[in-house]
Amino acid sequence: MSNNFFPTRALFWSFWANILFLFGMVGYSLMDVFDYMRPNALNVSLSSSIYVILAAIFVLDSTLQLLSVYNINRSTPRYYPMVFSCIFDELGSDAYFLGALFAAIAFISSNTVWIFNIVGVGGFVAGAAINMIVRGSSNLYSWANNLNLLGSLLYLLTILVTDVPLSHLIAILGDFVYLIDAILYIICWTSDRQLATAQGENIMLVNK
């Protein structure tokens, strides 16, 4: 894609972060629905490996978010909330990935995996909450931020609920909310791109 499509470096990294977010949520939605409908259809090792790959996608996604914020002028509105939001997203993604990896290779106890997962989801909740400190530039932007927080809270509830079938249903609902959220962020990114008419212009860059 040409420089005309990406007026700023921040928009370049943000674009790919949003694409990965959408791709990852499509993967999680398909896997969780399939596992619920056909719980024993996939080999446990294969299923665990797919979840590790999906978790790794979100580690890359959060890293690209940090790169996008790094390329924004510090005088941009919402700059510091975005920085801290991205840091918590990165920490959450790393912890969630380690939880998925350790679960796949049975390297540590299930209780320790649960701790990694709770820390990971806690990071997502904190990042989403911080991202709402400053109101978005549009109603669509605000809806995207609200859904991001709702999705992270549903994931947190999934880990805390002990009833397995109910927990699985909540996870699927969280996937659906996050999937809609990913689409909204891409739409908001398109709006940001239209506002960025010159390299280095301060914009209300959208990050999940």
Q: Which tens digits make up the pLDDT trace of 178-197?
A: 999 999 999 999 888 887 65
Q: Are 152 and 121 in contact (CB under 8 A)?
A: yes
Q: What are phi and psi of 75, to 5 degrees?
A: -85, -5
Structure tokens at 149: 């927080």
Residue 65 placed within a domain = yes
- What's the pLDDT score for residue 197? 52
Longest pairwise C-alpha distance within the chain = 53
pLDDT band at 116 (very low <50, low <70, confident <90, very high): very high
pLDDT band at 200 (very low <50, low <70, confident <90, very high): very low
All residues at 6 or more sequence positions from 109 whose CB lies less than 8 Å from its CB, including other chains: none
All residues at 6 or more sequence positions from 183 whose CB lies less than 8 Å from its CB, including other chains: 22
Residue 2 has pLDDT above 60, yes or no: no
How far CA 35 is from CA of 43, 51, 153, 182, in Å, comes to: 11, 12, 21, 22
Mean pLDDT of all residues belonging to the chain = 88
Residue 205 placed within a domain = no
Residue 1 placed within a domain = no
Q: At what angle do helices 9-37 and 44-70 cross, to 10 degrees?
A: 160
What domain range includes position 110? Answer: 9-195
CB atoms within 10 A of CB 199: 11
Number of structural domains found in the chain: 1
- Entry pTM: 0.89
Residue 62 placed within a domain = yes
Residues in the chain: 208
With CA atoms as reference, report the closest residue to 53 among 86, 19, 28, 89.
28
Q: How far is CA 153 from the centre of its chain?
A: 12
Residue 47 placed within a domain = yes
Residue 144 placed within a domain = yes
Report the range of poorest mean pLDDT among 18-32, 34-48, 76-90, 141-155. 34-48
Residue 176 has pLDDT above 80, yes or no: yes
Residue 51 placed within a domain = yes
- What's the pLDDT score for residue 136? 65
- What's the pLDDT score for residue 87? 96
Residue 206 placed within a domain = no
